[in-house]
Amino acid sequence: MLGGGKILWRGIEFYDAPQVSAFTALNPRAYRPLIVEDGDGVVPVPSALMMSTSTENVKRYWIDLSPPIKNDHGNLLEIQDLENFIYNLLQDVSIIPVTVSNESPNIPSSKKKLRFFLHSPLTLELYDAFGNHVGQNEDGSFDQDILDVEYGEFGDVQYISAPQGPQYQVVLNGRR
């Protein structure tokens, strides 16, 4: 399945944190999520491909979820082309709609990303040149106002992933 490049975790990376003060010497191990951006935003492609194809009756199909199709993993079976395709398969009719393919798609190489990780009792925020904001607000709500920039939290680690290229301002504020 193709998706909008949403961030998914594929694991946790533990690493030795650099010692920047006497306090970090007490806890030299740190962690951060390992991020993957392929799939439909819920299931990464490697996980979706775990089914063996060594059996003749096992076939793989992909559905393109990119615009103008406004669907996601949660309502996958409500996509009319997919419903028709499944119905045809059950009737032994081999009609494949345009949005469904039996060949793995050519996924364009993604742009380089900037990833910011914060292990601190601060807020991690990012602004673009137009003042658009991604991150936590003072009232505890979150903004995701910059296209292709995502904010997330994993335990006490906050992170932001943003395409390389535009100029950004990273802001850290103490939490109240």
Element (H, E) at 90: helix 80-90
Q: What is the pLDDT of residues 76-91, one digit of tens each?
A: 888 888 899 999 989 9
Q: What is the pLDDT of residues 133-150, one digit of tens each?
A: 999 887 888 888 998 888
C-alpha distances in angstroms, 30 versus 25, 145, 155, 156? Answer: 11, 29, 11, 11
Lowest mean pLDDT among 37-51, 54-68, 109-123, 136-150: 37-51
C-alpha distances in angstroms, 104 versus 74, 94, 121, 170? Answer: 22, 18, 43, 38
Residue 62 tokens read as: 């992909």
Distance of CA 76 to the CA centre of its chain: 17
Mean pLDDT, the chain, as a whole number? Answer: 77
Q: Where are the domains of the chain?
A: 1-110, 111-176
Q: Which residues pair with 122 in a beta bridge?
A: 174
Query: What are phi and psi for residue 167, nearest 5 degrees?
Result: -85, 130
Q: What is the pTM of this model?
A: 0.55
- To the nearest whole percent, how much of the chain has pLDDT over 90? 14
Query: Strands 29-36 and 8-16: what pairing?
Result: antiparallel
